[in-house]
Amino acid sequence: MTVIQTTVVLAMTADGKISAVDPKASRDSDPADQAHLEYQVSFADLILVGAGTIRAEGTTYTIRNQELLAARNVRGQSPQPITCVVSGSLDLPSDLPFFDQDVERWIFTTRTGIERTDEAAILQKQADLIELGETDLDWDRAYTIMSERGIKKVVALGGGSLTAALVEAERVDDWWLTIWPVIYGGKKAPSPVEGEGFIPSNAPHLELVETRQIKSQLFLHYRTLKTLFQ
């Protein structure tokens, strides 16, 4: 069975926010951050993205750099990674522009989500709808399915609920964190890892592998060092 490496790639402010309280007011990332993101995504066989992110942005991330596309071709990868949207409730409007993009689409969901959603029949025609449990997503099953289908490299792009679920499932191997030199504040502003949180004795520990700096922006590469409940 294929061994899958999972990398979380995200950007946050210096005070740890991934967007402002009003997401529509959030800053656009600069060219250096965009180039970094595109480079990291270019290695992915599959992108994991939360339903909230797809609903907010309308589309998935795609690679445009011709050199990166050529490198994917040399490695035998498809032009674009598969985009897998994670939505246990299957709360995804079928008219999102995402469903018109020229990418392979998967949706990880639950039996409850499929049964409660009027648009499930439409979504089944627009994406590969993959049931991962009755009411909760079974990440062991998800990774088994991805492995059976030849996925070797997963890049998770958030949001915070998805990242928390992957951390809890002990599936994150490494992290690329971009630190924006700005403060958003706001106790309701989203953070990179949401969920219930961890107590210090069970919190995953990280090892700093690499640091890059472009002007006042930092790019930090961490490896997951300690898994939960170890």
Mention every residue, 6+ apart, whose C-beta is less than 8 A from residue 39. 65, 68
Q: How many domains is the chain partitioned into structurally?
A: 1
The predicted pLDDT at position 227 comes to 58
pLDDT band at 6 (very low <50, low <70, confident <90, very high): very high
Mean pLDDT of 168-192: 95
Range of 75's domain?
Answer: 5-226
Which is more confident, 48 or 27? 48
CATH code of the domain in which 24 resides: 3.40.430.10
Segment 79-107, tens digit of pLDDT: 999 999 999 999 999 999 999 999 999 99
Mean pLDDT of 120-142: 97
Q: What is the DSSP string of 61-129?
A: -----HHHHHHHHHTT--SS-EEEEE-TT----TT-GGGGSSS-EEEEE-HHHHHH-TTHHHHHHHSEE
Mention every residue, 6+ apart, whose C-beta is less than 8 A from residue 33. 11, 178, 180, 217
pLDDT band at 1 (very low <50, low <70, confident <90, very high): confident
What is the pTM (predicted TM-score) of this model? Answer: 0.95
The predicted pLDDT at position 89 comes to 96
**At residue 229, does pLDDT exceed 70?**
no
- What percentage of the chain exceeds 90 in pLDDT? 85
Amino acid at 126: Q
The predicted pLDDT at position 22 comes to 83
- What percentage of the chain exceeds 70 in pLDDT? 97
Helix or strand or coil: residue 29?
coil
Helix or strand or coil: residue 140?
helix
